[in-house]
Amino acid sequence: LRGLATAGILLGAILDVARADNPIIQTLYSTDPAPLVWNNTVWLFTGHDENGAKNYDMRDWRLYSSTDMVNWRDWGVMLSLKSFSWAKADAWAGQVVERGGKFYYYVTATKTSGGYAVGIATSDSVTGPYKDALGRHLLANGGIDPTVYIDDDGQAYMYWGHTSPGAYHVLLGKDMLSYTGALTSTSVQNFVEGPWLHKRNGTWYLTYSSMGGSNEDIKYATSTRATGPWTSRGQIMASQGKSFTNHAGIIDYKGGSYFFYHNGALPGGGTYSRSVCIEKFSYNADGSIPKLVMTDA
Ligand code: FUB
């Protein structure tokens, strides 16, 4: 297996293609997966742990794509801290959504003046170039880990976490660059960080990182409305492996459902050197998500 992994890394480096087995990216440490299904392709936006980091040393955001969930093309860096004049550190979790042929990249970073904030970059192409859309942060209340979903009626919702911790949400404007109404604190059981919002068959799902033992686990809640109230549905993935954090992203693609997360499974991996992994799953008949186990923790 180790020989195969080495061959995979070499092949990946030569062909610029990441391997299919978990972790799916073996050419560097990758984090905070945010998959986007667009144009019959899965576009996987990730964070990046610097090699040898002793803390969350994260400076850029990257993109991979696949049409078969096996072979992943590496598109390189989409954004870095330098892309935002107001940011100085912590290129933490982000997510891209498409609206009207334009791509909106919501990210976390620490402001030059201190404190976590959420900013937005936009592009006319999914593969970039992405440019800071506002020249300032969108939210600066200590917010991290933005997740955005556009409902069938066109209303976009953004959830995010707070370092306190706690979950918040707001309604985004049609321009996707502004919001209407108040920043609203949301009650979600044992929420820590890393929310992922999606809707399926009329049910809203809020998946998030929680404390499940010595490391984070992944739990989820459901609601009939994007703004809650949320009913706790328990754990999807238990605390497992060498990374303290975990962070989920969920999509349906070509008839399958996929759960993206990160762990410390790559050689040298751990809390500050994480790697994106995927588990394929099927929703239960009642719409609940089955328990998933890291295939290689
Ligand atoms: O990767 C940095 C932070 O760790 C993310 O923003 C959190 O969700 C956690 O994964």
ipTM for the assembly = 0.98
Distance (Å, rounded) from C-alpha 258 to C-alpha 61? 21
- Per-residue CA distances from 253 to 136, 192, 194 (Å): 34, 28, 22
Cα of 123 from ligand 1 centre, angstroms: 24
Cα of 212 from ligand 1 centre, angstroms: 16
* C-alpha count within 13 angstroms, C-beta hemisphere, residue 15: 13
Strand 143-150 relative to strand 131-132: parallel, antiparallel, unpaired?
unpaired
* 142-165: pLDDT as tens digits: 999 999 999 999 999 999 998 777
Of the candidates 122, 250, 161, 236, the residue with the CA atom closest to the CA atom of residue 197: 250
Distance (Å, rounded) from C-alpha 207 to C-alpha 147? 10
Residues with CB under 6 A from ligand 1: 31-32, 47, 56, 92-93, 108, 144-145, 193-194, 245, 247
Spatial strand order of the sheet with 143-150 comes to 143-150, 156-162, 166-172, 179-186
Cα of 245 from ligand 1 centre, angstroms: 7
The minimum-distance atom of ligand 1 relative to the CA of 209 is 8
- Residue spans of the chain under pLDDT 50: 1-19
95, 110, 144: residue to mutate for ligand 1 pocket, most atoms within 8 A of CB: 144
The residue type at 212: G
* C-alpha count within 13 angstroms, C-beta hemisphere, residue 18: 29
Cα of 88 from ligand 1 centre, angstroms: 16
Tracing tokens 């293609």 back to the chain, one arrives at 17
